[in-house]
Structure 1
Amino acid sequence: MKKIKIMLAEDHLVVRNGIKLLLDSQDNFEVVGEVGSGKEILDLLSAGVETDILITDLGMHNVDGIQLIKEVKARNLAIKVIVLTMLDCEQHVAKSFECGAKAYLVKNVAAEELIFCVNHVAKGGRFLCEELMIKFIDKLIEKNATQINKIDPAELDLSSRELEVLELLGEGLTNLEISKRLFLSKRTVEGHRQSLIDKTKSKNTPALIKFALQNGLIH
């Protein structure tokens, strides 16, 4: 059985040793290098050490994880990169995949999931750990729920003049300032403002502005 060759870049020795022990426990895995920085990985690659999989942290000295992913890609090496990090924000996940990573795991991932990920990526797959996947799905559900609750502006039957007044209210202008801007009487502007409050069922002007922002009527 051909073994999957793995390099490991992790600057915390205790964590690195723990990951190595787990990888070494698998009959089809072979750790060919385990170092504390991206620079040391590049040195191993330059020295001719071959690997199939590179598991790397993101926050390391000298050459960090993102730089390492970019460099591996730039060298045209057939190495599949797995990110294993404490960083769980969307920006780091997106940046890692954009730069060429094939998988992204957080460090509290279960041993079984890490092993599955290595095997899956070695076969040509891509992987996002369950914790992050559920987090992003929950965020998407919340976003969709918010959008569903939004009111269609057409249903409010707002006139173009009311929308103009609403936009200026959103900019913080007073009724008097709006009247001068739109060449209307102050009483007319007050009428439009009250009409907006009534149509949107808002309690007052601040509530009206909040409603308008939430429903995309002003930006």
Structure 2
Amino acid sequence: MKNTIKVLLAEDHTIVRNGIISLLNDETDIEIVADAKNGQEVIAYLKSGLEPDVILTDINMPDMNGIELINELRADYPQIKILILTMMEHEKYVTLCLDAGAHGYLLKNVNIAEIVFAIKQITSGYKYICTGISLNLLAQTNLRDINNGSNNSKSDVEISKREIEILSLIAQGYTNSEIADKLFTSKRTIEGNRQNLLEKTGTKNTAALVSFVVRNRIID
């Protein structure tokens, strides 16, 4: 039997916080063990003995924001995974959070399936950046490569026809659930395929995976 992933949610907007709790409550293997309005409340929960596996936190919060919270957690609670959920999509915030020690970064326009997938990814030891940001970073990387005149040779990684279909849909920004619907299979199967692709290509997240397959001309 799988262990339930315990999540502590930090979000200062009550409606948003309650909405996330309501959606995640439908997940059988994820449990919201507490919710907080800012980083100080998160630290108070941890000092009281609460032991979440993941802290799902916004960046913009009063009293102690997400960046300050990451720094506190990395110093005193390094075993806890940190997943950012924010409206801030600029590359500098992604870099700032990941460099500080966050394990994942999501925008608030993602659907619940991608939040669930991200939670499972980071608790499995991977990092995760949402598809929207991944594609933006990929576009910037490709532009820099063009300007610098760089050229990568095709990889020897063996990718099946079905995996190429999945990679193409990932690159277009579809979620696991949407890919499953399009390919008439289950979300769990797509999650497994995505994980296999990460391992095959030696990449750590969706951004790196998409960059790998495009730059090696596995997909156009």
Q: Report the TM range for the smaller structure's normalisation.
A: 0.5 to 0.7
**Cα offsets for 1:168-207 (capped at 9, x unmatched):** xxxxxxxxxxxxxxxxxxxxxxxxxxxxxxxxxxxxxxxx
Q: Which amino acid aligns with 2:135?
A: I
After superposing on structure 2, the runs of 4+ consecutive aligned residues of structure 1 that deviate more than 4 Å are none
Q: Which residue of 1 aligns with 2:30?
A: 29
Following the alignment from structure 2 to structure 1, what is the Cα–Cα distance between the partners of residues 104 and 123?
A: 11
Q: TM-score, normalised by structure 1?
A: 0.66
Q: Which residue of 2 aligns with 1:71?
A: 72
Following the alignment from structure 1 to structure 2, what is the Cα–Cα distance between the partners of residues 26 and 120?
A: 15
* Structure with more contact order per residue of length (Cα contacts < 8 Å, sep ≥ 6): 2
Q: Which amino acid aligns with 1:134?
A: L
Q: Which residue of 2 aligns with 1:100?
A: 101
Following the alignment from structure 1 to structure 2, what is the Cα–Cα distance between the partners of residues 123 and 27?
A: 17
Q: Percent identity?
A: 33
Report 1:29-178 matches (<5 A).
29-148=30-149
What secondary structure, in the 3-state scheme, does the structure 1 residue paired with 2:56 have? strand
What secondary structure, in the 3-state scheme, does the structure 1 residue paired with 2:120 have? helix
What secondary structure, in the 3-state scheme, does the structure 1 residue paired with 2:34 have? strand
Deviation at 1:147, TM superposition (A): 2.9
Q: Which residue of 1 aligns with 2:9?
A: 8
**Cα offsets for 1:37-65 (capped at 9, x unmatched):** 11100110011111000000001000000
Deviation at 1:138, TM superposition (A): 0.7
Q: Which amino acid aligns with 2:50?
A: V
- Assess if the C-alpha contact under 8 Å between 2:56 and 2:83 holds in 1: yes
Following the alignment from structure 1 to structure 2, what is the Cα–Cα distance between the partners of residues 69 and 128?
A: 16
Following the alignment from structure 2 to structure 1, what is the Cα–Cα distance between the partners of residues 69 and 110?
A: 22
- Assess if the C-alpha contact under 8 Å between 2:10 and 2:57 holds in 1: yes
- Assess if the C-alpha contact under 8 Å between 2:24 and 2:112 holds in 1: no
What secondary structure, in the 3-state scheme, does the structure 2 residue paired with 1:33 have? strand
Q: Which amino acid aligns with 1:144?
A: D
The structure with the larger Rg is 1
Q: Which amino acid aligns with 2:72?
A: E
Q: Calculate the aligned-residue CA RMSD, in Å.
A: 1.3
Following the alignment from structure 2 to structure 1, what is the Cα–Cα distance between the partners of residues 79 and 142?
A: 37
Q: Which runs of 5+ in 2 are unaligned?
A: 151-220
Q: Which amino acid aligns with 2:120?
A: N
Following the alignment from structure 1 to structure 2, what is the Cα–Cα distance between the partners of residues 148 and 4?
A: 45
Following the alignment from structure 1 to structure 2, what is the Cα–Cα distance between the partners of residues 96 and 140?
A: 19
Following the alignment from structure 2 to structure 1, what is the Cα–Cα distance between the partners of residues 86 and 61?
A: 10
Following the alignment from structure 1 to structure 2, what is the Cα–Cα distance between the partners of residues 34 and 82?
A: 14
What secondary structure, in the 3-state scheme, does the structure 2 residue paired with 1:141 have? helix
Following the alignment from structure 2 to structure 1, what is the Cα–Cα distance between the partners of residues 35 and 77?
A: 21
**Cα offsets for 1:70-124 (capped at 9, x unmatched):** 1011104410000000001111111111111000001101221111111111111
